[in-house]
Amino acid sequence: MNVAIFEVCRNPEIRKQTETLLLSQAFERLAIPCQVYSNDGIWQRRTFLNRSLLQKSLSETALDVIHLALHGDRDGLVLGWSQAEKIRDRRPQTRLSPSEIESMTQWRGKLIVSGAASVYPLADSFLTAGASGVIVPERSISYQHLVPFLEGFYGSLANRQASQTALDSAIRQFPDLRSFRFLSRRSPGSLN
């Protein structure tokens, strides 16, 4: 299993323990190959995402899972934030729209995972593009247990459990994260 993590921080200048940092450390412990694409200042190789770089990155290797540590909404995935001095004043500046997601063949056959409920409205766009499934919470969640939850989920996936089985196992360990859903082209609430 090969994973890529895509992260676009709203405040990359502040040193912090990000989901991407903690998750990449978990992948190292689990011996899961992982490539990180992040604008956060903690990374030696910072990546500033745009549409073409995202497409190229998704195409470069045999990726099985795409982990999105990105904000999103019905208007799309946030690929860049404004540079306002105050963090609370920063707004999405560049987005990957639902129609752009749907037209990108690079999602085909990949499992898309996100801990951000704001990505939930985009699940059908990923499925239309050919993603094998989308795992995302349908409501906002507490991030208190997110990384251990994801570590358990990814550990089960690495042990060849099916996506739904791996998700169910992680939810049993962390019932506060039961709003996570596995959506596929055949699941209720998504495309048929």
Q: Please tell me the predicted confidence (pLDDT) of residue 13.
A: 72
User: Is 124 within a domain?
Assistant: yes
- The CA distances from residue 103 to 5, 74, 88, 106, 129, in Å, are 21, 16, 32, 9, 6
Q: Which of residues 91 and 60 earns the better pLDDT score?
A: 91
Whether 49 is covered by a domain: the verdict is yes
Give the dihedral of Cα atoms 184, 189, 190, 192; nearest 10 deg: 90
Q: Tell me the pLDDT band of 187, cut-offs 50, 70 and 90.
A: low
> Which pLDDT value is given to residue 61?
67
For residues 54-69, give the mean pLDDT.
Answer: 90
Check whether 189 has a pLDDT greater than 80.
no
CATH number of residue 108's parent domain = 3.40.50.1460
Establish if 188 belongs to a structural domain: no
Q: How far is CA 192 from CA 60, 99, 122, 123, 164, in A?
A: 30, 18, 16, 13, 17
> At residue 66, does pLDDT exceed 80?
yes
Q: Is 138 among the domain residues?
A: yes
Model confidence over 25-45: pLDDT tens digits? 999 999 999 999 988 878 888
Neighbours of 144 (CB within 10 A): 11
pLDDT in tens, 93-131: 899 999 999 999 999 999 999 999 999 999 999 999 999
Domain with 121, as residue range(s), is 3-183
The overall average pLDDT reported for the chain is 90
**What integer is the mean pLDDT of 137-156?**
93
Quote the CA–CA distance of 161 and 153 in Å, as a whole number.
Answer: 9
Question: What pLDDT, on the 0 to 100 scale, is given for residue 178?
Answer: 95
Q: What is the pTM of this model?
A: 0.90
